[in-house]
Amino acid sequence: MSEALERRIRALEDRAEIGELIARYGPAVDSGAAEAVAAMWTPDGTYRFDDVELDAAGVRGLVSLPSHVDYLERGCGHILSAPTIRIDGDTAVAVTHSAVMVHDGTRWLGERVSANRWELVRTAEGWRVHRRRNRLLDGKVEARRLLSPESE
C-alpha cells in the first residue's frame, strides 16, 4: 500500500474514532455513567462550561452535580451535532453544537444550546478529550468564536 493511501486511511479512521468518542458523550451523561464520561478525557483533561472548570475528578463527578441530577430525574437528552474535525498529527480540534432537552411534564424544552470546542489528543488507548469548552449561544461573541476550528 502506498504511503499516501495509508495516510488517507489513517485520517479516515481518526475522524471516525473522534466522531464516535464525541457521540458517546450524550448517552453517557444521560444514563449517569460517571466512569464512561471520565474515560473520554485524558487524566489531565478539563471541561469548562459557564463559569465552571472541571478537572478529571470533576468530569467523573459531572453526573452527580445537583443540576445534572435534576435533569436526570426530570428526563433529559444531551444532543450533539456532528463534529467538524481538524486533525494535526496526534492532536485534533472538533467543533459541535449541543442542546440539552429536558422533559417538562408533557413536552420537551430546550434547556441549553451551546457552542463546543473539543481539543483532543491521541493516546495509547485512542483519542481522548484533553480540553472541552462549552458556552451558551446567548449572543455573546465568545460563544461564536468556539464554533471556528481555528479559534484559540
pLDDT tens digits, residue range 46-89?
A: 999 988 999 999 999 999 999 999 999 999 999 999 999 999 99
Q: How far apart are CA 53 and CA 63, in angstroms?
A: 15
More reliable by pLDDT, 149 or 36: 36
Task: State residue 81's pLDDT score.
Answer: 97
Mean pLDDT of 105-112: 94
Rounded percentage of the chain residues whose pLDDT exceeds 90: 91
Burial level of 59, CB count in 10 A (0-12/13-18/19+)? buried
Mean pLDDT of 2-19: 95
Confidence of residue 36 (pLDDT cuts 50, 70, 90): very high
Residue indicated by cell numbers 480540534: 93
Residue 151 has pLDDT above 70, yes or no: no
Q: How far apart are CA 65 and CA 61, in angstroms?
A: 7
Task: State residue 13's pLDDT score.
Answer: 97
Per-residue pLDDT tens over the stretch 115-131 = 999 999 999 999 999 99
Q: The dihedral of CA 88, 79, 20, 27: what is its sign?
A: positive
Distances (CA, A) of 78 to 25, 32, 72, 86: 8, 12, 11, 23
Listed residue (79, 81, 138, 134) closest to 109, CA to CA: 79
